[in-house]
Homo-oligomer: A and B are copies of this chain.
């Protein structure tokens, strides 16, 4: 049982870890246990050189010619192909561009156009809010459509579905609880009612194997700055199943999505294939760290990532329950395998605990009103880190650290 876990045994697990060598390919500050990789991934060492190459050689020396010679123009497509294997997508179905919110907006219009006569968009009341806000913004420009929220208007997906539903927007992994939805099964359910699904993969890509093609998925979006380590604000991705591309239309129809952008024609004609989901000039510099990181990801076995993720999150939950359960720390994340790679805990004084942990070098995050989240990025975390994090939490809780005045005030941004 986990109460008898010894650090020596964990060190042995770390020594035998087939992913152990990846840790050295990240920059991690000394004496920090970084458990917020589910929000912003750590810096891959290879990113520095790639960024310098883009700035010094491609921009500084290559100047405007680099749009061709350095492949800047094709970044969304080319980096999309680098990412595609991580989400089980055959070539020609993924772009890396814009943000998750914008890509969701595009996918939503495309999906609605594919389901004329259906008026309902199903989403989750517990979705990351930007998904809901983008749906609201999009539907505000259209007559006759309405949302139906799982967790508010209907108890679950099955009861939300009927023949009025055009599109379902689902999170693969819940950003708060870490709960994992069965992607293939939910896709099958929605499609059985004739609805299309847009998957939000923000909290699953790079944390576990995702197989969109095999699931018969329609659309997916997600970000690249969490487990994929693309850096702050690195561009997001959009997946459109090949069978939907020819009929797909989206309103953010900038010149990079045009069939022939350099003809400078007055009228918009969408490019063939996935390129019609491009909008405009890619933020070239923000692709650079992601390119470096995705190069490294080509060496990664996602099965090993998933196994280690389950091991780390499982160990963390076991230790928290056995050592902190009596002190009122509650595990929110599912204990079975229906979870992603972060763990949510609840405690009356979560804010103070997270602050106290930070002062002990253990970084997690706080979500109002009473939740702590800890992400376990399998490429750079060790079993011993889990041990140390729980030990620090025990110490913080035992000393009632939240009573210290410096942990009393919540910042407006957390």
Residues of A at the B interface (CB closer than 8 Å) are: 27, 29, 32, 34, 36, 39-40, 42-43, 47-48, 51-52, 54-56, 58-61, 63-68, 72-73, 98-102, 105, 109, 125, 128-130, 132-134, 136-138, 140-143, 149, 152, 223, 225, 231-235, 249-255, 257-258, 261-268, 279-286, 288-289, 363, 365, 367-368, 411-414
Contact of A141 among B109, B267, B285 (CB under 8 A): B109
* Residues of chain B within 8 A of A368, CB atoms compared: 262-264
Contact present for A59 and B285 (CB under 8 Å): no
* A60 lies within 8 A of B99 (CB): no
For the complex with contacts A109-B141, A143-B143, A283-B283, 20 further pairs of A-B residues with Cβ separation under 8 Å are A27-B61, A51-B51, A52-B52, A55-B289, A58-B232, A101-B280, A129-B261, A133-B255, A133-B257, A134-B253, A136-B267, A137-B250, A137-B253, A137-B268, A141-B141, A232-B281, A233-B285, A262-B413, A264-B368, A286-B286
Across-interface contacts of A102 in B (CB, < 8 A): 98, 102, 252, 254, 279-280
Q: How far is the CB of A190 from chain B (nearest CB, A)?
A: 21
Enumerate the 5 nearest inter-chain pairs by beta-carbon distance, A residue then B residue, closest first.
A137-B253, A232-B284, A101-B254, A137-B251, A130-B255
Our pick among B152, B253, B281 for the contact of A266 (Cβ within 8 Å) is: B152
Enumerate chain B residues within 8 angstroms of A262, measured Cβ to Cβ: 368, 412-414
What number of copies of this chain does the assembly contain? 2
Q: B232 and A66: CB pair below 8 A?
A: yes
Query: Are the CB atoms of A40 and B64 closer together than 8 Å?
Result: yes
**CB closest residue in chain B, given A255:** B130
Of the candidates B27, B134, B261, B414, which one forms a contact with A60 in the assembled complex, judged by CB atoms under 8 Å apart?
B27
B34 and A63: CB pair below 8 A?
yes
Instruction: Select the residue from A130, A223, A282 with max chain B CB neighbours within 10 A.
Output: A130
Residues of chain B contacted by A27 (CB below 8 angstroms): 56, 60-61
The smallest beta-carbon distance between A183 and chain B, in angstroms, is: 23
CB A242 to nearest CB in B, in angstroms, measures 23
Question: For A125, what are the chain B residues with a Cβ–Cβ distance below 8 Å?
Answer: 266
Beta-carbon contact of B109 and A232 below 8 Å: no
Specify which chain B residues have a CB less than 8 angstroms from the CB of A279 in the assembled complex.
99, 101-102
Chain B residues closer than 8 Å to A109, beta-carbon distance: 141
CA A251 to CA B54, docked complex, whole Å: 34
**A138: nearest residue on chain B (CB-CB)?**
B251
Bound form: Cα–Cα A258–B136 in Å: 12
CA distance A32 to B61 in the complex (A): 10
**Is B68 a contact of A411 with CB atoms below 8 Å?**
yes
A-B contact pairs, 28 of them (CB 8 A): A27-B56, A40-B64, A42-B63, A43-B56, A43-B59, A51-B55, A51-B285, A55-B231, A58-B232, A59-B231, A63-B363, A64-B365, A67-B413, A68-B411, A99-B280, A105-B252, A132-B266, A133-B257, A133-B258, A137-B252, A137-B268, A143-B143, A152-B266, A232-B284, A232-B285, A233-B283, A234-B283, A285-B286
Q: A283's contact among B143, B249, B263, B286, by CB below 8 Å, is which? A: B286
B141 near A251 with CB under 8 A, answer yes
Instruction: Report the minimal beta-carbon distance from A93 to chain B, rounded to whole angstroms.
Output: 22
Given A56-B48, A233-B286, A251-B137: A281 in contact with B129 (beta carbons within 8 A): no
